[in-house]
Structure 1
Amino acid sequence: MANTEQVVAEATGSDQYLTFQVLGERYAVNILDIKEIIEVTQMTRVPMALAAVRGVMNLRGNVAPVIDLAQRFHETPTELDRRTVILVVQIEVEGEWQVMGMLAQEVNEIVEIQADQFQPAPEFGAGIRQSFIRHMAQLDGRFIVLLDLARVLSVSELSVHLGDDDRSSERMPAE
């Protein structure tokens, strides 16, 4: 009988992924994790929130936080232009589903990635925290970082308010 890793590899053998840009780098998430892609809308800044929390938006009558991926990965805010989008995802937080938006520079395409194209996250040199990376994949001679949404959108990390403890200056760059 096949072991669990083999079964998982076979089950994800031809998944489709949405690729997008953040500060010129190519990232991807499983297409099934994306609920919709919307134009950047009015966002309301949340006082004392971490800089990566760009604000909250009204999504059909519900409040949804918007996380700026560039700020989360590199402490550099996304410059909004006509190609900037919000990728709406739904993640499970403590047994409940929460809708969140991820601000990205632009959407590229949907790609199919075979299981044999997956590689483990490098120990260093990927440009973002290793814990944010689920896998790497090589496609058309370029690497794509497949994000671990549970870690990138960690509610426990993102819900910390500035000033809650003495380490607040470590989280937000000085202006």
Structure 2
Amino acid sequence: MSELVAKRAAGMAPRQSLFLVFRIGDERYALQAIEVAEVLPRLALKPIARAPSWVAGVFAYRGAVVPVIDVGELAFGQPAQARTSTRLVLVHYQPDDATPGQLLGLILEQATDTLRCNPADFQPYGLDNRQAPYLGPVREDAQGLLQWVRVADLLDAQVRALLFPSPPLDLAMLEEHP
């Protein structure tokens, strides 16, 4: 009988999710690992002219050109430091259900740790920060507060149109009118 009780208790355990933890300065942030496609070392990028300063550039990845943003520059105006732990993290970016998902690169400092926890442990922090809608709820642990960064909310409509034009640019038109 105790075996049945143990199985029921295990089935009722809180749902755990894996998060990639990174830092901006001294503060900790997290991305849900299910949104991460791949973690790469920091790579050389081709800059995009006249883009916002936090758009770090683009790079070629498996036959596709992927835009990259510096999350530290986006959030606080401080570019990521060139450390051995600074990573280029590819995420599945899909701002809504009607838009097809695309790869987006994020430059993240100290993106070397993971954390498994219940997403319900993250709680609202009492501020309606419309200038940074990607900064989600926070979770308290022994190291302080950890803030969830929501990938779908990283780009506003103007930057999304710059990085992911819809419809995509027609190369044939460029060849006709040099």
Q: TM-score range by the shorter chain?
A: 0.7 to 0.9
Of 102, 126, 131, the match for 1:98: 102
Contact 2:75 2:132 in 1 (8 A): no
Look up the SS of the partner of 2:94 in the other structure.
strand
Aligned to 1:31: 33
Q: Which moved more, 1:138-147 or 1:45-54?
A: 138-147
Give TM-score scaled by structure 2 length.
Answer: 0.73
Please give the alpha-carbon distance, in whole angstroms, between the structure 2 residues aligned to 1:30 and 1:43.
Answer: 25
- CA RMSD for the aligned pairs? 2.5
Aligned to 1:156: 157
Query: What aligned pairs does 1:102-113 form with structure 2 within 5 A after superposition?
Result: 102-113=106-117
Displacement of 1:54 in angstroms is 0.4
Aligned to 1:143: 145
Please give the alpha-carbon distance, in whole angstroms, between the structure 1 residues aligned to 2:46 and 2:160.
Answer: 16
Within the alignment, does 1:14 sit opposite 2:16 as a pair?
yes
Distance 1:92 1:107, change over 3 A: same
Displacement of 1:69 in angstroms is 0.5
Look up the SS of the partner of 2:133 in the other structure.
helix
For structure 2, the 5+ residue unaligned runs are 1-11, 163-178
Displacement of 1:114 in angstroms is 2.2
Please give the alpha-carbon distance, in whole angstroms, between the structure 2 residues aligned to 1:74 and 1:160.
Answer: 22
Aligned structure 1 segments of 4 or more residues deviating by more than 4 angstroms: none
Displacement of 1:46 in angstroms is 0.4
Of 84, 87, 106, the match for 2:86: 84
Of 28, 39, 44, the match for 2:46: 44
Letter in 1 for 2:122: F
**CA deviation string 1:49-99 (max 9, x = no partner):** 111100001112210011000110011212223221111101125421110
Displacement of 1:44 in angstroms is 0.3
Distance 1:49 1:115, change over 3 A: closer
Please give the alpha-carbon distance, in whole angstroms, between the structure 1 residues aligned to 2:52 and 2:131.
Answer: 17
Look up the SS of the partner of 1:72 in the other structure.
helix
Of 120, 124, 139, the match for 2:124: 120
Displacement of 1:17 in angstroms is 0.9
Letter in 2 for 1:15: S
Give TM-score scaled by structure 1 length.
Answer: 0.75
Please give the alpha-carbon distance, in whole angstroms, between the structure 2 residues aligned to 1:26 and 1:158.
Answer: 25
Letter in 2 for 1:37: V
Letter in 2 for 1:54: A
**CA deviation string 1:89-148 (max 9, x = no partner):** 011254211101100111141112225522113317x9x955222221112241100011
Letter in 1 for 2:116: E
Letter in 1 for 2:57: G
Structure 1 or 2: more strand by fraction: 1
Please give the alpha-carbon distance, in whole angstroms, between the structure 1 residues aligned to 2:33 and 2:73.
Answer: 23
> How many residue pairs get matched?
149
